[in-house]
Structure 1
């Protein structure tokens, strides 16, 4: 397994202006939260982390949430200064921050730019105001256009937006309109996610009461295939199941996860993976603050066996449309051949037409066109094997 220090850094800012109806992320409504104490705790965790696991040059940073852009400009400036003080960010590193439309005024964007952020991912979800209200978003379509315009004026050109499909009351036509409007923005990257009804969300409660009018499975599949057709026709590379990019604008940070490579995870509820261990941090804001004052704020740390790491390699690696290579597998697992470990599964998935061979170094496998919409079935074949 890869034992080098992580070259990717994830930091979690758990605050939001409100909680969306579908969201089960570790996030909390901003009002009344001890934000400055939280930033103190983040700095303390960074300090302890780099003493325990000294970093290599950091090639990607991703600040997620929550909504990191609810920080005020002075808080943003302080936070980004702390990141650079503790982690050696490589020249040319990708430095992404998630943002909610309507939370990125010019002053805040200037603080982000000065602090090293060079990529912004906006949670747009839809270009239909009625649908945005129905899913609990507090921005509207005008906020999207204004936020993208502000970002471009501040000097950001590496911009991405998230759109969702399979939403309650959403039709194929509504989605098609949203995608058309998204493409008119001429951004280099789009992420397109299907709704998952997660426990402990308002949508789950409505679903349990049979009060959530979700599209049919056939309509949801039609939505997904429409997305693929529209984005690829517009010149975007479908490089991962849910992600499309112009050449050179693929998310380098998320590719770390999909390649099963190590990464630091800092902040409340953050996950990390390094030196053969995965960790999850304490989730609550105040419990995280209290614990980080004294030690690494871990909720749990678990060793990852070689077998589990191999399964993870296949499940996340096959999300990439380039697939997995025998050379990369051997590099992570002491020269072992991918076919020797997963031969029966690979042969069955090839026979079923869900995988195809590639010319990758050492031989490789990727989802077939038929396998792309059935990805979860393919990934599940490698669990517990």
Structure 2
């Protein structure tokens, strides 16, 4: 039974050069009709896939804060009527925000609506770097907005990126120094990935994108890890750091391979062992009769086991031997022992007695470890 909810708001004031999420320019979009369709989907889904408790809500995008104040109030009201009655007492309720599109009024609306965590897409504090990646805010906006948010929220996260065009290790140092001056409890730090059909992918094909080399990117990753750890933000997942007790509970649902609702155009759900993908084009999503689902994939047990490993290994604690046995009725060793042995020899993973997890040296090479489990499950054994 799903206990986490993701809501997708696919509107942006500007499209960043690296982004491949389902999003559109806000101008002239049928935002109110979209919110109508979103509410309809929530109602229909909860009837078909009921739950007795919701523990996390995450509103992402796009840019949720691109909504005007009336639309934001409408969204908050929708959540209050349909989802908050099911919420646990310790609900984690997050909204993604852009540093230059969040008025004090919108922050107040979010606070009144029950939001208790805000995540800002900062990416870098270098104004030239922000311009190069197509962001519209500047470093001053970040300081102003995060300070304003901290008057209302005591759980604030920022996103930082590394491996950006023309970025240097010195700039990463400076980004971290400025980030640590902010009243924040959480940092997500990601390397740039060139997604197909983005502006950056096109520039790279034309030879017009100057990116740091692989060695520099690894050095940037290690610099982020070491600096944030030293300043009391512990790494609990490959790309995420927090003060104690402020880990993103919503994202841990994904990494633990647990079920969740995904509402909105192009959103994904995991319900009753099925991965469900919604219709992505907004006009088609709005016009959908019944649930706006484009495709449903029923996962075989073997596929679920593989996902358990390559998602769970993202967390620093790793994959729980006991949880694996409880979920699948087979021991982790009987299914993947041969893969784990090989990765232990390569010093990419280690056994702790209760978990299998990435080693320190395995962190920068995590994708190699994840890939090793694909197609390697042995489930013809009867013992566990």
Q: TM-score range by the shorter chain?
A: over 0.9
1:321 corresponds in structure 2 to 316
2:118 corresponds in structure 1 to 120
1:337 corresponds in structure 2 to 331
Q: Among 280, 286, 290, which residue is 1:295 paired with?
A: 290
1:214 corresponds in structure 2 to 211
Q: Is the 8 A contact 2:165 2:210 kept in 1?
A: yes
Indicate whether 1:310 and 2:305 are aligned. yes
SS in 2 for 1:184: coil
Rounded to whole Å, the distance in 2 between the matches of 1:84 and 1:384 is 43
User: Cα distance, 1:371 vs. partner?
Assistant: 0.5
User: Cα distance, 1:150 vs. partner?
Assistant: 1.4
TM-score (norm 1): 0.96
SS in 2 for 1:330: helix
Q: Among 54, 65, 70, which residue is 1:69 paired with?
A: 65
Indicate whether 1:197 and 2:194 are aligned. yes
Rounded to whole Å, the distance in 1 between the matches of 2:73 and 2:236 is 33
User: Cα distance, 1:91 vs. partner?
Assistant: 1.4
Structure 1 gap segments, 5+ residues each: none
Q: Is the 8 A contact 1:314 1:324 kept in 2?
A: yes
1:135-192: per-residue Cα shift (whole Å, max 9, x none)?
Answer: 0000011110111011112x11100000000000100101110111001114110000
Q: Is the 8 A contact 1:125 1:132 kept in 2?
A: yes
Q: How does 1:175-254 map to 2 (within 5 A)?
A: 175-254=172-251
TM-score (norm 2): 0.96
Q: Among 254, 260, 263, which residue is 1:263 paired with?
A: 260
1:376 corresponds in structure 2 to 367
Q: Is the 8 A contact 1:353 1:371 kept in 2?
A: yes
1:192-213: per-residue Cα shift (whole Å, max 9, x none)?
Answer: 0000000010000000011100
2:382 corresponds in structure 1 to none
1:346 corresponds in structure 2 to 340
User: Cα distance, 1:56 vs. partner?
Assistant: 2.1
Indicate whether 1:280 and 2:271 are aligned. no
Sort the Cα spacing of 1:186 and 1:86 in 2 relative to 1 into closer, same or farther, 3 A.
closer
Structure 2 gap segments, 5+ residues each: 377-384
Q: Is the 8 A contact 1:104 1:150 kept in 2?
A: no
Q: Is the 8 A contact 2:172 2:220 kept in 1?
A: yes
Rounded to whole Å, the distance in 2 between the matches of 1:281 and 1:347 is 39
Rounded to whole Å, the distance in 1 between the matches of 2:175 and 2:345 is 37
User: Cα distance, 1:295 vs. partner?
Assistant: 0.7
Rounded to whole Å, the distance in 2 between the matches of 1:236 and 1:146 is 22
SS in 1 for 2:356: strand
Q: Is the 8 A contact 2:95 2:119 kept in 1?
A: yes
2:43 corresponds in structure 1 to 47
Q: Is the 8 A contact 2:4 2:55 kept in 1?
A: yes
Indicate whether 1:16 and 2:16 are aligned. no
